[in-house]
A and B are shown apart, each in its own frame.
Chain A
Amino acid sequence: MAAPESGDGNNGAARMVTLISSDNTRFEVEAAAASLSQTLQLTILDGGGGGGDGIPLPNVDSATLSKVLEYCIKHAPAAANGGAPNATAVDRAELERFDNEFVNIDQSVLYSLIMAAHNLEIEGLQSLVAKKVADMIKGKSPMEIRRTLGFPDPTPEEQAEMNAHMLEYGWAYE
């Protein structure tokens, strides 16, 4: 198993840590991958999460955590190379393809990922999911945004506010 250098000073076989989701599912993952989370990084550097202990994550359910870890495992080698200065164009294209495919998901899953990425402070994932939602919003009218994101129909009051807003800021709607 050719594990990438974890970057935390360990050599030889990659160190593994155990993460425990809110519904008590245990995930064993390379420390290097879990360390993409700023929240987890310190605990892992302190030697936590090894052996039978495991790090409990009461805010993340197993479905979301497995998705998050899929991202971390994919991105860990590039992150360990310090942002992959020597990554080939093929590697980068592959990561990009992965990212695009990764966020091609249901809005409720997207919601869980946004929350988890913020909770765990995984910078790359935070940007990826935020960018995805931003792309869903970009260029749309307020009403189209509401429909796209599945907001309930506006109340008459909200509708009136939207109309007033459009009159006031006409240039932004051009």
Chain B
Amino acid sequence: MMVAFDTASETFHEMTPPPVSKNNRVNILAMGGLLVAADFGTDKRIIDLWFFEDYGVDGRWERRHRLDTGPIYYGQLRLPPAGDDSWLTIPNRAVAGTDEGDIILRVANAIVVHNVKTKTLRVMELANETATVLISPFVFRESLVQHQLATKFALDQLAWGAAAAEKDGTPQAAIIHLPDDTIADILLRLPTSSILRSGAVCKPWRRVTTSPHFLSAHHARRRTGSVSVILHTTVDGAPWPGRGNNLPPRRITVPRGGSTGTGSPRRGKKVTRQWAQLPLLHGDYRSHDQEYAFFFHQSSGEFRLLCRNMARRIWFVVSTSAAQPRQLVENIDAAEFIPWLPMMVSAPVVPLHGNLHWSP
């Protein structure tokens, strides 16, 4: 089953999933106006890229690329050969597509960038990284550089603090030199308007208060009271990042050229940010609600949050211009949905052609 949500009519509909085995790990993403499914097969080394042709008319999936990542080394370990079951425990994900034809995949503990135009493959090892790598596609889209909040107590931050202190003359043990995660911990305790003002205090605070991780944590904290979100939009009006609960990645730089290491961050779409207050959730909506997607409603020009109340098993929409959450008419068999719900929360939503898509 593959589910899509029409943002104009606010109804769910089923889509034809790519014709692959149910056991395969499949991930969808948008690239150059096309919906793409990355099929990691069963051995996770051969990856098929399926493209959805003729969207909305007579849509069908076609396999256009097959790539073999070959054995990938990471740290001191060599991955087990194809067919070995321990492969299956390694989560793989298609992270994002770019307008230049790059598809960014996470395979084992490496980032693999496949270009569909040149059919070339670049493997970027994450040095000395043996723990699971957490990757947010939104961070990639924005800058393809490390998420600051991912570094917990990094020594280089402390070193940076000392260097900055020398430069600007403030004592080293001053609040201004606290690492980002402690700043986030402090700012999370503030009401929304104070957080917003804090964003103007200095660059590091701006970085902290506008990071998806912070916003998501802020939102989670405020859920029982008023809900505020930062609306990130690209210049063409598409919401960014789309949803909040994606975890930040570790240190990753994907350069434009072929080599690993330094390189100027990829220029993403211009992103603007604005704040808006969503209405207060109260009564039955107060708990058990979970946001599934954040979308732009074209005809009203509103940003809306698609949520589900777990206890009452209803879908509802919260929007910036309505005082109350609005319940949606259930147009798809609720029982069929249930097994998919947990996955729909954890996987990124792919917005394309007025629909939101979830991986099959």
Contacts and interface: CB of A to CB of B under 8 A. Distances in A.
B284 interface: no
B185 interface: yes
B131 interface: no
A151 B275 contact: no
Given A110-B175, A138-B191, A152 B170 contact: yes
B197 A111 contact: no
Contact of B175 (A107, A152, A166, A171): A107
Interface residues of A, number: 38
Given A118-B182, A145-B197, A134 B174 contact: no
Interface residues of B, number: 33
A72 to B, nearest CB: 19
A149 B176 contact: yes
Given A115-B182, A134-B187, A137-B186, A150 B174 contact: yes
Contacts of A139: 194
A139 B197 CA distance: 9
Interface string B140-184: 000000000000010000000000000011110111111001100
A119 B182 contact: no
Interface in A135-174: 137-142, 145-146, 149-152, 154, 158, 161-162, 165-166, 168-169, 171-174
B200 A142 contact: yes
A126 interface: yes
A112 B199 CA distance: 24
Contacts, number: 95
Contacts of A107: 174-175
A130 interface: yes
B173 A142 contact: no
A108 interface: yes
B189 interface: yes
A126 B177 CA distance: 17
Interface in B54-81: none
A16 B287 CA distance: 43
Contacts of B168: 152
B168 to A, nearest CB: 5
A167 B153 CA distance: 35
Interface of A: 107-108, 110-112, 114-115, 118-119, 126, 130-131, 133-134, 137-142, 145-146, 149-152, 154, 158, 161-162, 165-166, 168-169, 171-174
In the A-B complex, list the 10 residue pairs whose CB atoms are closest, starting with the nearest. Answer: A165-B200, A142-B200, A134-B189, A172-B196, A108-B173, A172-B193, A111-B173, A130-B186, A149-B175, A152-B168
Given A142-B201, A145-B201, 14 more contacts: A108-B173, A111-B178, A114-B182, A130-B182, A130-B188, A131-B189, A138-B190, A158-B202, A162-B200, A169-B196, A169-B197, A172-B196, A172-B197, A174-B193
20 contacts: A108-B174, A111-B174, A111-B175, A114-B182, A118-B153, A126-B185, A133-B175, A133-B186, A134-B189, A138-B194, A149-B176, A150-B174, A151-B174, A152-B168, A152-B169, A169-B197, A171-B193, A172-B192, A172-B193, A172-B197
